[in-house]
Amino acid sequence: MFKTLTMTVNGAEVSIPVDERESLVDTLRNRLGLTSVKKGCEVGECGACTVLVDGEAIDSCIYLSVWAEGRRILTVEGLKSPTGELDPIQQAFIDEAATQCGFCTPGIIMSAVEIVGTGKRYSREELRKLISGHLCRCTGYESILNAMERIVEETYKRVGK
Amino acid sequence: MFDIESLYQATGIQDAIRALQADERAMIISGGSDVLIQCREGRLAGCSLVSIHGIPELMGIEQAADGTVTIRAATSFSHIANHEIIRRTVPMLGDAVDQVGGPQIRNIGTIGGNVCNGVTSADSASSLWALNATLELHSASGVRQVPIRDFYTGAGKTVRRRDEVLVALHIQKKDYDGFGGCYLKYGKRNAMEIATLGCAAMVRLTEDRRHVADLRLAYGVAGPTPLRCVNTEDAARGMKTDEALLLHVAAGAVAEVNPRTSWRASKEFRLQLVSELAKRAVRQATLNAGGELDV
């Protein structure tokens, strides 16, 4: 059965019909064209489909679209500035060469948005745990952790908590 | 698209109970991190779901005037792990739920779902057993409070009826006050892993801090349901906190558990873990209770 779903996606309110059996990753990709949200394992293990719902990172492959009613969704498409510049988190991933094939990157960046948003300082070991819901088969994670450390440190220096 | 026959989003507890009664095939979905995967695998293909996701009266943590800690059933693991009341009263439970899956799963998975699945490997279950949690179940015929020791009836089975909603879990002050606790999970990886064995230990010390006033030892995956080693616990009371205590809990636990061989690990390996984790968890719980160990 179709339902009208109203939610805020990347700052803009959208109202669209969705099938109540649909996962949020399908709604975001197929109905809204937000293809930064990747479909990987589809069972909540690889983290490629990670988006923020009301500021919290979730696997959108195991999240029913109807649950997003009235909520705020953020994907990588919502990170760029009004003038089109990259978010500092994206820039840190480029500077540290933290991306190879790129399939896991949007998901990890969204987790990074949640982590960096706390304004806290994290050790490398803590960061390792905080990105453990993502699989990357290229980098061996070291460059990703370098990027995370860099942006967490920069943010802490600015807004430190 | 998930293979779901029908989905009803309940607006509150009473509405969920009504919807469960109206459709005798309907089952509850909360966080979805187990149910949706089983829909996809086909095990629950064609199911009718009543969603209790996001119902405000099912979320949150409170502490009553008498010290009782109440965790509402649809509270997510991440909200429990870092909650001020949990850190102050039952940090062992916070540490346990912080080891479920990965961060995204902990943002969606709920403690009520973890318990109602009835699985022995649930990370919260052994801690909740050690804490003597009481489960508050609501249905059309009223409210009942079920002690966790009466909740599990077998692998994946509980006393919760299909049309009953687990609303909250309660932990009384006498079950956490003065205790030091420790939950240890053994898995092949540090994240995104189901426990090969889980062990929760709690220790309360006598005034001299050298003897055991009370001790609790609970396991997950050491039998078809989570379990407590009550004989070992009884015999440990009054014992000095030294190596003999650790050897006692290790040997006692092995005699009280009933693990099986699965693709994850053999029975023999699980027994080895039962013994080793008992020592490590009781030692850490003793230290967390402010004691010392003459080892």
For residues B196 and B236, state if they share a domain.
yes
What is the widest separation between alpha-carbon atoms in chain A? 50
Q: Check whether residue A97 and residue A137 sit in a common domain.
A: yes
pLDDT digits (tens, 9 = 90+) for B199-255: 999 999 999 999 999 999 999 999 999 999 999 999 999 999 999 999 999 999 999
In a domain, A147, yes or no: yes
Last residue of a domain, one of A78, A113, A131: A78
Domain with A128 in it: what CATH number? 1.10.150.120
Which of A62, A131, A134 lies closest to B36 in CB terms?
A62
| Predicted pLDDT at B189 | 87
pLDDT, position B53:
98
Is the model's pLDDT at A9 over the cut of 80? Answer: yes
The whole domain housing A12 covers 2-78
Residues of chain B with pLDDT > 70, as a percent, come to: 99
**Once rounded to an integer, what is the mean pLDDT over residues B265-271?**
97
pLDDT of residue B169: 98
- Kindly determine whether residue B190 and residue A62, on different chains, have CB atoms separated by under 8 Å: no
- Based on the fold, state whether residues B152 and B93 are members of the same structural domain: yes
Are A106 and A58 in the same domain?
Answer: no
A74 and A98 inside one domain? no
Is A38 domain-assigned? yes
Looking at residue B209, what is its pLDDT?
94
Domain identity same for A57 and A112: no
Nearest to A90 by CA among A72, A73, A101, A77: A77
The predicted model scores a pTM of: 0.96
Q: Which whole number is the average pLDDT over A4-9?
A: 98
- Determine the distance in angstroms separating the CA of B38 from the nearest CA of chain A, rounded to an integer: 9
Domain of B30 in residue numbering reads as 4-51
Nearest-CB residue to A57 (from B1, B103, B190)? B103
Do B108 and A23 make contact, defined as CB atoms within 8 angstroms? no
The string of pLDDT tens digits covering residues B166-203 is 999 999 999 999 999 999 999 998 888 899 999 999 99
Mean of all residue pLDDT scores within chain A: 96
| Tens-digit pLDDT profile for residues A50-101 | 999 999 999 999 999 999 999 999 999 999 898 999 999 999 999 999 999 9
Report pLDDT for B192. 87
Among the three residues A26, A48, A78, which one is the final residue of a domain in this structure? A78
- The 10s digit of each residue's pLDDT in B4-58 is 999 999 999 999 999 999 999 999 999 999 999 999 999 999 999 999 999 999 9
B293, pLDDT greater than 90: no
B216 and B113 assigned to the same domain: no
Does the interface predicted TM-score (ipTM) exceed 0.90? yes
CB contact under 8 A, A59 and B105: yes
- CB proximity B194 to A under 8 Å: no
Q: Of B12, B36, B51, at which residue does a domain stop?
A: B51
CATH number at residue B124: 3.30.465.10
Chain A nearest CA to B273, separation (Å): 24
- Classify residue B72 as exposed, middle or buried by CB count within 10 Å of its CB (0-12, 13-18, 19+): buried
Considering the domain architecture, whether residues B61 and B170 belong to the same structural domain is answered as: yes
Amino acid at B219: Y
Q: Do B190 and A129 touch (CB under 8 A)?
A: yes
Do A28 and A68 reside in the same domain of the chain?
Answer: yes
Asked whether residue B64 falls in the same domain as residue B169, the answer is yes
- Chain-chain contact of A133 with B108 (C-beta, under 8 angstroms): no
- Domains: count for chain B: 3
Whether residue B61 sits in one domain with residue B157: yes
B83 within some domain: yes
Same domain, residue pair B188 and B276: yes
Q: Is A128 inside a domain boundary?
A: yes
For residue B7, the chain A residues in CB contact (below 8 A) are 20-21, 64, 66
**Do both A16 and A70 map to the same domain?**
yes
pLDDT at A121 over 90: yes
Question: Does A96 share its domain with A144?
Answer: yes
Indicate whether A72 and A9 sit together in one domain: yes
A104 shares a domain with A39:
no
Indicate whether A83 belongs to any domain: no
Q: Do B159 and B241 fall into the same domain?
A: no
Residue-by-residue DSSP string for chain A:
-EEEEEEEETTEEEEEEEETT-BHHHIIIIIT--TTS--SSSSSSS-TTEEEETTEEEEGGGSBGGGGTT-EEE-GGG-S-TTSPPPHHHHHHHHTT--SS-SSHHHHHHHHHHHHHT-----HHHHHHHTTT---SSS-SHHHHHHHHHHHHHHHHHH--
pLDDT band with cut points at 50, 70 and 90 for residue A161: low
Q: Which residue of A has its CA nearest to B52?
A: A67
Residue B294 is assigned to a structural domain of this protein: no
d(CA B103, CA B82): 13
The pLDDT of residue A134 is: 98
Instruction: Give the pLDDT of residue B165.
Output: 98
Q: How far is B9 from chain A (nearest CA, A)?
A: 8
Report how many domains make up chain A: 2
The answer to whether residue B293 is domain-embedded is: no
Q: Does B295 have pLDDT greater than 80?
A: no
